Amino acid sequence: PSLLHIEELCDSIVRSHRDTSQFRLEELQALRWKLFSREEIHAYQSKSVDEMWQHCAVRLTEAVQYVVEFAKRIPGFRGLGQNDQITLLKTGSMEVVLVRMSRCFNTENSTVFFDGKFASTELFKSLGCGDLMVAVFDFAHSMCALRLTELQMALFSSLVLINTDRPCLEDRGRVHRMRKDLEGCLSHMLRRDNQESLQHKLYQKVSVLQSLCSLHVEKLHWFSQLYPLTVHSVFPPLYKELFT
Ligand SMILES: CCS(=O)(=O)c1ccc(CC(=O)Nc2nc(-c3ccccc3)c(C(=O)c3ccccc3CC(C)C)s2)cc1
């Protein structure tokens, strides 16, 4: 694509990313030392397994809804067939949430923004999936180490979503053409910022993302065996549609 087309595509992707991130970086930075008190942590840890899972599922679904909005604004996405849009979102939205979560992660005290303050893994103890928590926090740490700009995160997020390898795509060729443009944008911008080394580091993150999402689905499956009614009756419909 022409240079003008690349610049226009980058502008629209970073604008969509900004417009669909629940919190701006500046807001998250201003809140980064707002930690939960011992009492508040204890209150979360006293929640039952199903109460805490339901609480997180609601929060996660909110984050996913913003990713759905981001996807719809990626040039060409709405031009895809309905089924392909759903296939890409079903498999990619959690991955983009995990990429975005690194924006709200404080590596100095290993806390993540949750429910208005910053929480460490101990707050999530009653979920009963410590290994998932450790994996999510480790991933957030590794993403923070790359020190991505919002443009780089926006382009990487769009590439995580526009993935030609997703199963049961009907018009793989169309997804491939979108992806080529987005790959062109990312490599152009990395060259412009003299950060070509970032390219392979980002592509290495994709397999970690996929294993994290499988672990999340595995834990959800374990939880839904224990609390089928909770998942069936009070979990957000979008969460159920995407992850069960
Ligand atoms: C993402 C866009 S943003 O504007 O940066 C933003 C916008 C909004 C927020 C607030 C927010 O919803 N934070 C959540 N944190 C976690 C979390 C929880 C455990 C460890 C690490 C982060 C949420 C989850 O529910 C979650 C996320 C990833 C994997 C697993 C889970 C829990 C499972 C059991 C559902 S929701 C934060 C950041």
Distance 203 CA to ligand 1 centre (A): 23
For residues 141-168, average pLDDT:
97
Distance 59 CA to ligand 1 centre (A): 7
Spell out the residues 6+ positions from residue 12 whose beta carbon is closer than 8 angstroms to its own.
73, 75
- Ligand 1 site, residue 63, Cβ cutoff 6 A: yes
Given a cut of 80, whether residue 197 has pLDDT beyond it is yes
Q: What are phi and psi of 111, to 5 degrees?
A: -125, 155
Q: Which atom of ligand 1 is nearest to the CA of 114?
A: 13
Assembly ipTM:
0.96
Please give the radius of gyration of the chain, using alpha carbons only, rounded to the nearest integer.
18
Cβ(10)–Cβ(93) under 8 Å? no
Instruction: Return the best residue to mutate from 49, 104, 107 for the ligand 1 pocket (most ligand atoms within 8 A of CB).
Output: 104
Q: Which two tokens stand for residue 141?
A: 């740490």
Strand arrangement of the beta sheet that strand 117-119 belongs to? 105-106, 111-114, 117-119
Q: How far apart are CA 85 and CA 51, in angstroms?
A: 32
Q: How far apart are CA 159 and CA 180, in angstroms?
A: 9
Q: Return the pLDDT at 4.
A: 84
Q: What percent of the chain has pLDDT over 70?
A: 100
Per residue in 88-108, pLDDT (tens digit) is 999 999 999 999 999 999 999
156 CB-contact burial (10 Å; exposed 0-12 / middle 13-18 / buried 19+)? buried
Q: What H or E segment, with its residue span, contains residue 106? A: strand 105-106
Distance 227 CA to ligand 1 centre (A): 21
| Band (1; pLDDT cuts 50, 70, 90) | low
Residue minimizing CA distance to atom 33 of ligand 1: 56
For residues 65-76, average pLDDT:
97
Q: What is the mean pLDDT of the chain?
A: 96
For residues 68-79, average pLDDT:
97
Within 10 A of 64 (CB to CB), how many other CB atoms are there?
20
- Ligand 1 site, residue 198, Cβ cutoff 6 A: no
Q: Which two tokens stand for residue 106?
A: 């404080």
CA 101 from centroid of its chain's CA atoms: 6
Q: Return the pLDDT at 219.
A: 97
- Ligand 1 site, residue 96, Cβ cutoff 6 A: no
Q: How far apart are CA 62 and CA 183, in angstroms?
A: 28
Residue minimizing CA distance to atom 22 of ligand 1: 112
| Band (15; pLDDT cuts 50, 70, 90) | very high
- Ligand 1 site, residue 136, Cβ cutoff 6 A: yes
Per residue in 119-129, pLDDT (tens digit) is 999 999 999 99
Given a cut of 60, whether residue 214 has pLDDT beyond it is yes
Four-CA torsion 215, 216, 219, 224, nearest 10 degrees:
-140
